[in-house]
Amino acid sequence: MYRILIVEDDLPMAQAIQKEMGMWGNEAEYVKDFRSVLTEFTAYDPHLVLMDITLPFFNGYHWCGEIRKISDVPVIFISSASDNMNIIMAVNMGGDDFVAKPFDLNVLTAKVQAVLRRSYDLAGRIPVLEHRGAILNLHDMTLTYEGEKIDLTKNEFRILQTLMENKGRLVSRDTLMTKLWETDSYIEENTLTVNIARLRKKLDRAGLTDFITTKVGEGYLILQAGGAEK
């Protein structure tokens, strides 16, 4: 079963597409907050995106570009703006296909099924971790927040990956030290403290304040939404 994310601000249409995708054995969700399309994309981790062009706040070209920074997931544009210029723009922005509105749901489904078959006979997608809009790309070891890439050292990446994989759970200093030792023969304990401090400064400068929480004498954690720990 494939997961399909519908980025469409016409709610009846989004619901109709969701129902149609479900009838063909796929799972589908539609975006609720058009300010946070990338966050919803990352949380849902879809196999395919259906993207309208005219959306509140930012258009579909913008969101396709943001998705392309972190993922090669197929994107099909669905829009009434079906002139040649918009079709060319959609392809240039990384779209895999274009379906003009109004469309027959059977035609849309056929397009979706064809793109899914074509895409997933090939290599898989880039794995990412997300929290508070910050996206850690496990493929190239970069962190992206609000469209900006934050450069990380090897150790900073390992620390952040471990904390994000254990979001909401306390990670001991010993666990983090072990992570840093994976490809190094020896790491002094002070190295962890220094790397945590440097990582925090980078996150703060990017606007991700209080991203990492310290439990004195125990370790570190990234709090889930609402600040609750598991």
Question: pLDDT tens across 21-35, in order?
Answer: 888 888 899 999 988
pTM of the model: 0.54
Q: Is 16 exposed, middle or buried (0-12, 13-18, 19+ CB in 10 A)?
A: middle
| pLDDT tens-digit map of 175-215 | 888 877 765 445 566 788 889 999 999 999 999 999 999 99
Q: Tell me the two tokens of residue 67.
A: 């998705």
d(CA 159, CA 62): 31
DSSP state of 160: H
**Do 173 and 215 touch, CB atoms closer than 8 A?**
no
- Asked if the peptide bond before residue 102 counts as cis, ω within 30 degrees of 0, the response is yes
d(CA 167, CA 169): 6
